[in-house]
Structure 1
Amino acid sequence: MSDQPQTPPFPPPQPVDNTASLGKRLQATIIDVVIMMFCIFPFAQSQGLMEIAEQQGAIPPELALKIVLFQLMMFFVLHGFLLHQFGQTIGKRIIGIAIVTMDNQKPAFIPLIVQRYASQWLMGMVPVIGILLRLADVLAIFRDDRRCIHDHLAKTKVIDLRIPVPTGQAQPNSIIV
């Protein structure tokens, strides 16, 4: 046995909760929605959506499909690059938050789109109860882990990039502000 006193090992760094606040997620969502509205409303007007809805009381299926496809295209034009490179939409980039995997890594693009975003889009399209499904999805954010249902489906979380993570903890891969 050695006569030298043994020094206790350094304790591992305490985990830091870098989950984005509800306020920051809401701010980012509002920014994204406003940007999408500025893109979609002129297109809808150019297609005569308002006049058709007033005259017929409903939107014809072919026009509704055209609007949905335009929305999808605009989503990828506006957010595709940032989601692929950084796990962020424009709003998330401005606010300083990002979507990451549960071990704080940048998520793969295709699974992110399919599991996180397509699930939301499809929930919203279910007749009659779609709005309730989307509401349940969003209200899940008030649980302790601050993750919506779409976060659970995609195995992701949204983090605040301004909360430093101690060395030794997994940090987001390639995510910069």
Structure 2
Amino acid sequence: MAPLASTGQRFAARLLDSLVLGVLWFLALTVTGVMGTALENAEEGNPYSDIPVGPTLLALVLTFVAYFLYEGFMLSRSGQTLGKKAVGIRVAVLANGNIPSREGWIRAAVYALPGVAQMLLNIGTIFWLLNSLWFLWDKPYRQCLHDKAAKTVVVRA
């Protein structure tokens, strides 16, 4: 198996994939009409008044489901998301170094779907932060919680 990816590589890849998440969030806010309402309110001088809660929650769910599909599809196909491709790393099955087919979907589910729980006291945010930082102290494979659940590691491509 290839050497493990560095902390910097993993951070850069996740940062780039967060841009994908941001685009999905913007699209979901636009489709649900929340972005239009916010822009109208901004013109009136108060962008945070009258933001509809229901459509905002729908945008949140749509965003994280779309991100789950993005990450699951990309990982199960090549072991790489756009961010991972850009920095030259990939996800591999821990047991044999293969591209994670089913494991890619498990990894994506544990990473993305708790984001839907953000609407419940920011539980999703706390889990997401803990999950993403876990590899900093994990030994010997530097796995995040989503890696542990899927039995994967992040290696140099």
Using structure 1 for the length normalisation, give the TM-score: 0.66
Correspondence for 1:4: none
Query: Alignment partner of 2:15: what SS?
Result: helix
How much does 1:84 deviate? 3.0
2:8 match: 23
Equivalent residue number for residue 155 of structure 2: 159
**Which residue of 72, 81, 102 maps to 1:89?**
81
Residue pair 1:79, 1:90 contacting (<8 A) in 2 also: no
Change (3 A) 1:123 1:89: same
Does the Cα contact within 8 Å between 2:68 and 2:113 map onto a contact in 1? Answer: no
Uncovered stretches (5+) of structure 1, i.e. residues with no partner: 1-15, 162-177
Question: Which one of the candidate residues 98, 104, 111 is aligned to 1:112?
Answer: 104
For 1:58-77, list aligned pairs within 5 A: 59-73=52-66, 76=69
Residue of structure 2 in register with 1:32 after alignment: 17
Gapped runs of 5+ residues in structure 2? 42-46
Counterpart secondary structure, 1:55: coil
- 2:80–2:90: 8 Å Cα contact kept in structure 1? yes
* Partner SS state of residue 54, structure 1: coil
Q: From the superposition, tell whether residues 40 and 136 of structure 1 become closer, same or farther in structure 2 (CA, over 3 Å).
A: closer
Matched-pair contact (CA < 8 Å) for 1:120–1:150:
yes
> d(CA) in 2 for partners of 1:149 and 1:136?
8
TM-score (norm 2): 0.73
> 1 CA distance for matches of 2:73 and 2:109?
17
Higher relative contact order (CA 8 A, sep 6+): 1
Task: Give how far 1:29 is off.
Answer: 0.8
Match in the other structure for 2:44? none
Give 1:48's aligned residue.
Answer: 34
Cα deviation, residue 112, structure 1: 2.0
Q: CA deviation at 1:48?
A: 3.0
- Are the counterparts in 2 of residues 36 and 75 from structure 1 also a CA contact under 8 Å? no
Shift of 1:116: 1.1
